[in-house]
Each structure stands twice: as C-alpha cells, then as structure tokens.
Structure 1
Amino acid sequence: MTMTDLTEIRARHPHRIAEAWAARRRRRLLEDDGRLMIVAADHPARGALSVRGESGAMANRRDLLERLATALARPGVDGVLGTADVLDDLALMGALEGKVVFGSMNRGGLAGSTFEMDDRMTGHTVEEIVARGFDGGKMLNRICFDDPATVSMLERSAQAVDALAAAQKVAMLEPFISVRDDAGRVKNLLDPDSVISSIAIAEGLGATSAYTWLKLPVVDELERVMEATTMPSLLLGGDPQGDPEDTYASWRKALEIDTVRGLIVGRALLYPPDGDVASAVDTAVGMVRA
C-alpha cells in the first residue's frame, strides 16, 4: 500500500481504520519462551526526529513506514509500540496481523520545549487501547526534582496504571531521573543509582502493580540495578551512538538477567549505519530468543 493509498483512505474512507483494527488477528502477549522483541516508533510525536545526530532522519513518513514494515515482517519480532498516526497506517497496511501492540500515551513533553517535563497524556487513551484490542499502554516518566510539572505527570500516570490494570492491560512505564543542563536542555541521568531511584518511584505508581511492566535503559552495573524490581522489564535501545557491535554486546549481556524479558528498540534497528534494517532486526531477535 502506497502513501497515496493511505491518504486516499484517510480522506474518503476513514472508517476503514476502525475496521482494520476490528478485523486484525491478535495473539497472546507472551509466547512459550516468555520473551518480547518490540519495535518502537513513538519518537516523532514528541518532535524527536534525529538519529545519531542527523536531524530529521525520521521525518520522511513513507520511509519510516517502510522500515517498520520490514522490521515487523522479520521472524521473531513480536510487535510494535507507537502513536495513533503510525499504528493506524500500519493497521491499514496489514503489518500488525498477529502482533503485540502498545499505544504510546503521554507525548506532551515535546523535545527541546520549555514545557518538556510536563508530559501530558496527548496520545492513546486507556479507552482507545481497550477498544482497539491493544496489549497495553506505555508512559514516559521523567522525574525532575526541580520541576513542579513532575508531580502532575506522576498523578496522571498513576491514574492510567489503575485504569489499564482494571482492563487487564499492561502499563509499560519508562522512568528516568531527569535534570536540565546549563543550556536548559533535559538530560536523563543514567548512572546506576539514579536509575534505581527512578525504578523505585515508577513501580510504586497506582493502587495496583499487577499489570505494571518497566522499560529501562542499559546502564553500568545493570545486575545491581535490576535487583530494584520484580516487575517484568524490557530494555530500551535509545538513540544509538558509536559502534553498533558495542551496543549489541551490552544488550546481549543484559538479556541474561532474569527479570529482563526482551527489548523495545526503535532508532537503533530502524536506522542502522549500513541501512540494512532486516539484518539489524535479525541480530536483535537472535539475542532476545537466545
């Protein structure tokens, strides 16, 4: 299906989006190996379009959708995390048959904005996640002790955790301790103790943790970091830097930890240095399934 086809459907037959979701073949969240390999594509909705310092790398929507379709078609890829604009296109393309789907919920903290820490729920709602048959919703939980907007984000996230649990849907929380540097830019602290603090805060959100999962960065002393939680956790890829082999090596070691159930990776696999999306995805799948 071409971009023109997608635009034509949106213009003349928007009801077909709901029909595509209703007809989609679904699957259980975890298969027998208890692992998940999820491709992430919710960065654009927060204005984060760069990859490896190249601004606008994710700006071409046709190119992004083609890369996502390639990744989702690879054996061993379980599903996708994204916002409504991306997921609706993928559903129309038939790329989500038999796949796990997570909706991205709070995208209000736009990258580089003065209000970046005010991560409001501007994406998927719990009601839509349930109606479309998603497996859960994901929230970014950047905790800044110097920004009063943090407490509002935590309150809204806690409410979403409870609502998702009531619907028996996964609440995927992505916590960071965050600060602003001298230039006012938001920076996530990735030292082990900061990550442990972020985990402790995030996993306490809501009146129940029955359906809470975590999305966590790969950091130093990860074995000690993962002792901070009993929640099933997926590791995030982030914006890749340096040699991809070094990144793969860190993922491979991290995946040996018991509470780690797989990967959620976007830019590192969708925009590899050599452009070979299929090969990059296959490498990651091999580590997850091993």
Structure 2
Amino acid sequence: MSDAFVSTYQDVTRVRVEDPGRIARLLARRSRRTVADTDGSVFIVAADHPARGALSVGERPYAMASRTEMLDRMREALAVPGVDGVLGTADVLEDLLLLGALEDKVVFASMNRGGLNGGSWELEDRFTSYDAAAIKSAGFEGGKMLTRIDLDDDRTSFTLQASADAVSELAAHELIAMVEPFMSSRPGGPGTRVVNDLTPEGVIRSIHIAQGLGTTSAYTWLKIPAVAEMERVMDATTLPTLILGGDPGATDPETVYGSWRQALARPNVRGLVVGRTLLYPADGDVTAAVSTAAEMIR
C-alpha cells in the first residue's frame, strides 16, 4: 500500500474507496508544526462553515457548495507565505491531507458543528466532529468550539456544559482549546434568525463567560470578532486571542482590514482565523486577499 499524496480529486475519492487507511498513515508521518514554531503570531485559514450547513458568502447563498472549488481556494490560500495553518472538520482536513496541503502546517480541528444554520436547536451546538482524543491522535494543535450564549434559550446551558467539558479534555491532552463565544439572541422570536451581539459590551460579556469554562484555562485561547473599542474589549482577558473574519458581505474589504489592524495592535491579540472573507473575496483574487491579511500580522 502506498503512502503517497495524490494530485487530483478523482484520486482523493479513489483512496477513500481503495485505501482509507492511508489517511491514518499520512497523519502519522505528517510534517507537523505548532504555535511554538511561529514567531508568536498565528494566521489560520478556516474552512469549517459547510459542516454546519452555512454555505453562503455575502449575497451568494450557495457560494461554498462546490467542495472541489473550496479545496482549490484553500490550497491557494495555504500556499501564501505567512499562512501558518488551517481550521476544519475531518472531511476537509483529510482531503487536504491526501493532497499534501497539510505538510508543515498548524492544524486546528473544529469540534461542534451540530448547531445547524437555521435549525430550531441551533444554539444547542452539539459536538458532532472531532473530540479531544481524536485531535491528539491526529497530531493536531487543538480544537475549536463555537459557544453561543442566548439567555432566553434553555439549550444554551447544554452548549456551555459541552464546551466546558471540551476545554477540560483538551487541556488534559495539553492541546489548545480555541473558544469562540458570542452573546446571541433571536430578535424576531423563536424560529427566527440567530443574531450575535457585536457591541463592545456584548463581546466583553462573552469573553468573561468563555474564559471561565473548564477545569483549567492553561490551554484556552479565545476567537472573537473585531469590534469597536478593542482596547477596552481586550482588557477583559489575559488569554491569547485570535480575531475571526466575520461576514464577508457585511461591509467593504478596506473597512474589514482596518478593523483587523486595530485589533492586532492589542498585545494579547496573537493573530487571525479567517475563512470566507479571504477564500471568496469580491474580486476573486484569493492570493491577494490572503497576502494582505498576512502582511498585517507580520
């Protein structure tokens, strides 16, 4: 049996049919990189939205529907100098692994994708992807968990408990727990769209809740949006923090880049975790968008 990488998407499917054990063998011999191997700043490209049924980019509801197109864009982004690694679910990470795109990359695994976009149970975000033991076995750097907090939705308590357990389990394996908290609500009532509170006060409150999860915070990092008054927001924590990309259709690129620059000026902000904003830029130039973000960090 071969342990070689493949070059086509047809070969990815062929390996999954004829030699699925190659995935484990390639993980075992993968050239690994950790955050300790960086200069203290981290730039991660995210590709875990599809597993939650979130395929839209701006006004395009099915922009991420093509897996091969997304993988093309991911591979282009990961090849840009200054990109440290990737965040994804098992299906995406294993496709990239077979294609050789995870070599010498920092890899974070997405853990809870069960809060499907638009679902009535969306805020009870079940852990349906990686667990701590699988992340350790794969040789990845840590796990990321979305933790949305709606004080009017009883399901929130289950999400908080699951996130706390994941933080503790990751720490027991000496793996980073990347917690992405939001104060959330359904302003239109039950069954309507979930909206995140992006005011400084809302983000500050979410930070305090998130950093208290688990039996230790020794391995906890935060993933939060760039909002107004980032100096005051980041004074809420001493934890290493990464800035997320946000909705690529929300505003113009220069405004988004400006908000990232302001956030990155804070000493406990250690980098970016960005997905759709850079993978699907309005002008279609993935390399240029990713390069712009990389230059902000270094």
Range class of TM-score, shorter chain: over 0.9
Q: TM-score, normalised to structure 2's length? A: 0.95
Matched, 1:211 2:196: no
Identify the residue that residue 61 of structure 2 maps to in structure 1: 55
1:175, CA displacement in angstroms? 0.2
Alpha-carbon separation, structure 2, partners of 1:182 and 1:28: 43
**Mapped contact 2:110–2:144 kept (Cα < 8 A):** yes
Q: What per-residue deviation string (whole Å, max 9, x for no partner) do you get for residues 63-85 of structure 1?
A: 00010001111111000000000
> Which amino acid in structure 2 is aligned with residue 68 of structure 1?
M
**Offset at 1:181?**
2.2
- Name the aligned partner's letter for residue 193 of structure 1: E
User: 2:242 touches 2:272 (CA, 8 Å); kept in 1?
Assistant: yes
SS at match of 1:234: strand
For residues 194-247 of structure 1, the C-alpha deviation after alignment (integer angstroms, 9 at most, x for no partner) is: 111100000000110000000000111111010000000000002212211111
Q: CA deviation at 1:32?
A: 5.1
Q: Does 1:285 align with 2:294?
A: yes
Per the alignment, residue 6 of structure 1 pairs with 12
Q: Where has structure 1 moved over 2 Å in runs of 4 or more?
A: 30-33
How far, CA to CA, are the matches of 2:38 and 2:184 in structure 1?
37
- Alignment of structure 1 residues 105-124 onto 2, 5 Å: 105-124=111-130
* TM-score normalized by the length of structure 1: 0.98
Identity of aligned residues (%): 59
Q: Residues of 1 paired with 2:34 and 2:88: CA distance? A: 19
Q: 2:267 aligns with which of 258, 265, 278?
A: 258
Quick check: 1:41–1:82 contact (8 Å CA) kept in 2?
Answer: yes
Consecutive unaligned residues of structure 2, counting only runs of 5 or more, are 1-6
> Is 1:161 the counterpart of 2:167 in the alignment?
yes
Q: Is residue 238 of structure 1 aligned with residue 246 of structure 2?
A: yes
Post-superposition shift, 1:36? 0.2
Task: Name the SS of the counterpart of 1:102 in structure 2.
Answer: strand
1:139-154 alignment to 2 at 5 Å? Answer: 139-154=145-160
CA–CA distance in 1 between the matches of 2:173 and 2:68? 34
Counterpart for residue 228 of structure 1: 236
**What is the distance in 1 between the residues matched to 2:34 and 2:195?**
36
Q: Which sections of structure 1, spanning at least 5 residues, go unmatched?
A: none
Counterpart CA distance in 2 for 1:77 and 1:147 is 38
| Cα-Cα RMSD | 0.9
Of residues 234-243 and 167-176 in structure 1, the stretch that sits farther from structure 2 once superposed is: 234-243
Q: 1:178 & 1:98 partners in 2: Cα distance?
A: 36
Q: Which amino acid aligns with 1:228?
A: A
2:73 is matched by which residue type in structure 1? R
Partners of 1:30 and 1:36 within 8 A in 2: no
**1:65 is paired with a residue of what secondary structure?**
helix
Post-superposition Cα deviations, 1:141-191, rounded to whole Å, max 9, x if no partner, equal: 000101111111111111111111111100000000000121611010100
* 2:276 corresponds to 1:270: no
Matches within 5 A, 1:125-204: 125-182=131-188, 184-204=192-212
User: CA contact under 8 A between 1:6 and 1:92: conserved in structure 2?
Assistant: yes
CA distance in structure 2 between the aligned counterparts of 1:222 and 1:232, rounded to whole angstroms: 14
Which residue does 2:88 correspond to in 1? 82
SS at match of 1:30: helix
CA distance in 2 between counterparts of 1:153 and 1:249 reads 33
In structure 1, what residue type is equivalent to 2:124? D
